[in-house]
Chains A and B, each alone.
Chain A
């Protein structure tokens, strides 16, 4: 929002709460404030960021709880953002730090407002992840129930979809990369969780008004950390601790170890790091392109008059529909790639061991 209305109700918290409401309720007010602002990339990125309201289906709902740990280590809990403003302890409309939650009472040495020590709120992205978890759990519970009831009859309905995807993940993604059937079955729960969780989050992000939780670095970082742990756990367990440490040499003689060990250690971290950046950047890039294409309409309308804006609109909408369909492909592709690369990394961490076990398997079956 522009600074002008905020300046009017500086620190009076009840007034700021009212202003907050007005800004949300009256679309017209928001539009004029936006038009007077210069259209910047930051604004676009802000919309894609994490915040304390749930955005879905063209609406913004203040239904998410706000949980703050203040400087004195005491916990403040509010049912939603509005209640937080009304309590008068914290505000998002302080003049010195707009759009940040700051305390109305505690100030630091220079008189600037202080934020909470830790923000444990259920934010937008957390809510999306909970929704995704619920969807995946419910679908799999239903499918599991059907298999339990009729294990030998032909699958029907959603069973078909899930069965073919699960088989695809096993036959095409996990099994060829990890060496043995036993290991593949042990990894399947993790890989399937990764695949369906990322896929569901990506698809949720394509609903109108929603954002991609996978387009946030903390989320992808957590997922990549899971991969890091699983990859090294499997390498430790199946290839042995000695083999894991030997891997650090990269096959070079021992006297090159001062060079090789740091490089290999960095290599262990880089792989999940690349996973993290890839998923984040792919999901964010698609949404930025979509927002930019739609933003072009308003840009042209503002710079060259309303008629040009109307003229640009059909082209812009056509392109956004194209990008949207591309995003649909990317949603599936990124879930596939994250799972695939996790499996490949497991195979790489095992090194010769994966292939070795593979031969053993064959020998045993003969």
Chain B
């Protein structure tokens, strides 16, 4: 079981009524993948269902991005193992809204 740090964008923090800062922690069994992380996120905060992944397709929403260790993982397989820095808790997995529009 790993304790994973996850950064959420401000609108989702407000929506989920998270007041403890912009980062939350999730306990996830190995192997730690993006899919498992998102499953754990939605289980811990059911109000976020549909906000990061489409509720019907389970695909990443078009304007959501996943960053880790200065890399964009948005287009990687959700079943790939996440980097060691994320699994060890040294770095957070960052979920953010893409810059879109002017």
Judge: A and B partners, yes or no.
Answer: no
Q: Which B residues contact A (CB, under 8 angstroms)?
A: none
